[in-house]
Chains A and B, each alone.
Chain A
Amino acid sequence: MSARRPVTVPLRVEPGSDLPPPERSAVLEAVQACGNLPGPLLPVLHAIQDRLGWVPPRAVPLIAFELNLSRAEVHGVLSFYHYFRESKPGRHVVYLCRAEACQAVGAGALEAHAKRRLGVDFHGTTADGRYTLEPVYCLGNCACGPSVLIDKELHAGVTPARFDELVAE
């Protein structure tokens, strides 16, 4: 019988220890602020995205650990909701309304124009990292479309020419 070989017991890595510091603190502060609410996951994800502009998938283990949820649960929620981003956006996010009331006043043409002008498809980010283009389904501005939301600023009656002005600003 051969001598027993030594075994290596892997140390359990503390969740989140591998995260870049800004991401780690965004998660911990979000949990600090909202972790005690009943059903805290959505408020926590919102707080993280408000800080970072996205929810890095590598932060999922730490979020799960802090909220006492499984990683699968956190991932499941993160991927279910259109608003939560799992990739880093450009400096500004341009939300273009694609819904019926805006279609009735030219949202389709605006969409084609915006994609051409920015050189990206939906969910894409311009090469210079300035803009990410996202579809949105109604912004509650349906009497004065086509509607576009840039970051938190809403714009009404956006023609292709007006769109060019907005992204040139």
Chain B
Amino acid sequence: MSTTVYVPRDATALALGAEAVATAIAAEAARRSLELRVVRNGSRGAFWLEPLVEVQTGNARVAYGPVRAGDVASLFDSGFLEGGKHRLGQGAVEAIPYLHKQLRLTMGRCGVIDPQSLADYQAHGGYAGLQAALAMDGAGIVKAVTDSGLRGRGGAAFPTGIKWRTVLETAAPQKYIVCNADEGDSGTFSDRLLMEGDPLCLIEGMTIAGLAVGATRGYIYLRCEYPHAHAALNAALAAARAAGFLGQSVAGSGRAFDLEVRLGAGAYICGEETSLLESLEGKRGQVRFKPPLPAIRGLFDSPTVVNNVITFASVPIVLARGAACYRDFGTGRSRGTLPVQLAGNIRRGGLVECAFGVPLRTLLEEFGGGSRTGRPVRAVQVGGPLGSYWPASKFDTPLDYEAFAQQGGMLGHGGIVVFDDTVDMAAQARYAFEFCALESCGKCTPCRIGSTRGVEVIDRLRAGDRPAQQEALLRDLCNTLTHGSLCALGGLTPLPVLSALEHFPEDFVKPKAAVAAGS
């Protein structure tokens, strides 16, 4: 019997050399006349161990990592095909504490299955949610999603069931399901991980949404920086179509649903839902005024559900296991789980899915293991480029939308970017303005022009040029941005800027000696 070996095809694993590892394993097996089957799975998200090679032994999958192509011969010598001992051995993969301590609901199949295999997907609970949904009417599905407490994972945390109900109740000849796979926030990769590791889960979630609201067409708006996710999605779409899970009669139900992938073109603002719809229509990605809500007049003026990848991907399990089963996890009004992403200067970076309520510190220390450089962690930015910079004094804040807001931050898409004590927080604040200037859609003056003024003010402040006046100007500018912007790009850029100023004021002061020297 041939042994099965798993080598991830996830983008990060590939960037760390997984392709060469897969090739070396096949070559070494051929050289030794050993029969083995190499499955290209997704990543489990423990990126610090990638490329993480797994071997199916009698009762468990035994893991080795991080494996380089040069380690492959020695792995064979150590009998890794039987789970033999090796310096890269990590034991049974499910027992690795980083993975074992997580609560995988949405991302449970990532890294486990062959993402292109429909049979594998179904063997691991795939399409059970759709089967359940097919036995309900639209209102029943919407009720299950509402009762689960699921809120949008793209950033704004709007209750998903309420959005779906609006679309369901808006009569129209054509409705659309649109997946926001623009994942533009730095420090985030959960969408990518899911699309590469379990793309059928997203497809199933969108199909259920289509049944729920009466939409027959869907689009996945994918950022073009994700070529591997693009390939994985297209392969999964073909598999789903071939098996009759997409098309004129979804799973033989007589109800139609199909979808396609559309690529973005490197504009951060196209992650904002109305800008995304403009882009899908083939226009410049300029933000639309609301109302009308996309749920009432969205894509091509039709009622449209727009949700994030993780939001859709959380729906199948809600339908399969019941709303209560999902709602039972979490805290306060944040129900279920959040796939958190540990990024930046962190020792054990990767994806950690856990129930809401876990303190930030647990993620940074227990999972993340502190900074990669070994220096003290000075600041974290949670929630992408529009999120606040926090000092260590806030690390006891629990993962919870409301708790974060109360502390002047936001959870957003769950990205946590870690900085050690070499960071210059004034430079980070400057970058926030620079990014806003670069990505502004140009509709509002404060965002379009004010962002560039912000860069200049910070430059003068750092140069020690009349600092008190510059700081007053900076606060005034931020106030204008907060109140005079149509969307959160302009509206929230003050968050990283002012939080950096509040918690790290020393970085904005030019040393007196330097001022005197006139340098």
Interface size class of B (residues with CB under 8 A): 35 or more
What's the least CB distance linking A111 to chain B, in Å? 12
Chain A interface main SS type: loop
* Contact A46 B265, beta carbon cutoff 8 Å: yes
What's the least CB distance linking A119 to chain B, in Å? 24
What's the least CB distance linking B196 to chain A, in Å? 9
Interface flag for B226 (CB, 8 Å): yes
By a CB distance below 8 angstroms, the chain B residues around A43 are 262-263
Q: Which stretch (B187-195, B208-216, B399-407) binds chain A?
A: B187-195
Q: Which residue of B lies closest to A139 (CB)?
A: B225
Per a CB cutoff under 8 Å, which of A77, A137, A139, A149 touches B283? A77
By a CB distance below 8 angstroms, the chain A residues around B341 are 142-143
Question: Hey, what's the 0/1 contact readout for B344-379 against A, CB within 8 Å counting as 1?
Answer: 111001100000000000000000000010000000
Interface flag for A167 (CB, 8 Å): no
Per a CB cutoff under 8 Å, which of A142, A145, A147 touches B188? A142
| Known A-B contacts A138-B186, A156-B15; A42 and B284 likewise in contact (beta carbons under 8 Å) | no
Number of interface residues of A (CB under 8 A): 41
* Contact A42 B265, beta carbon cutoff 8 Å: yes
A83-131 residues at the B interface, CB under 8 angstroms: 83-84, 95, 99-105
Q: How far is the CA of A82 from the CA of B350 in the complex (A)?
A: 28
Interface flag for A76 (CB, 8 Å): yes
Q: How far is the CA of A156 from the CA of B98 in the complex (A)?
A: 21
Q: Which residue of B lies closest to A149 (CB)?
A: B225
Per a CB cutoff under 8 Å, which of A73, A100, A136 touches B385? A100
| Known A-B contacts A76-B284, A143-B189; A104 and B423 likewise in contact (beta carbons under 8 Å) | yes
Per a CB cutoff under 8 Å, which of B12, B279, B283 touches A143? B12
By a CB distance below 8 angstroms, the chain B residues around A136 are 225, 266
| Known A-B contacts A77-B282, A80-B285; A42 and B262 likewise in contact (beta carbons under 8 Å) | yes
Interface flag for A24 (CB, 8 Å): no
By a CB distance below 8 angstroms, the chain A residues around B16 are 144, 156-157
* Contact A81 B349, beta carbon cutoff 8 Å: no
What's the least CB distance linking A134 to chain B, in Å? 9
By a CB distance below 8 angstroms, the chain B residues around A46 are 224, 263, 265
| Known A-B contacts A80-B285, A154-B15; A142 and B186 likewise in contact (beta carbons under 8 Å) | yes
Instruction: List 28 A–B pairs whose Cβ atoms lie within 8 Å, in order of A's numbering.
Output: A39-B283, A42-B262, A46-B263, A46-B265, A82-B266, A83-B267, A101-B343, A101-B344, A101-B417, A102-B344, A104-B343, A105-B372, A138-B183, A138-B185, A139-B225, A142-B186, A142-B341, A142-B415, A143-B48, A143-B189, A143-B346, A143-B350, A144-B15, A144-B349, A145-B344, A152-B227, A154-B11, A154-B14
Closest 9 CB pairs of A and B: A143-B349, A83-B266, A99-B186, A41-B282, A104-B344, A81-B265, A142-B343, A156-B15, A39-B282
- What residues make up the interface of A, taking CB atoms closer than 8 Å to B? 38-43, 45-46, 73, 76-77, 80-84, 95, 99-105, 136-145, 147, 149, 152, 154-157
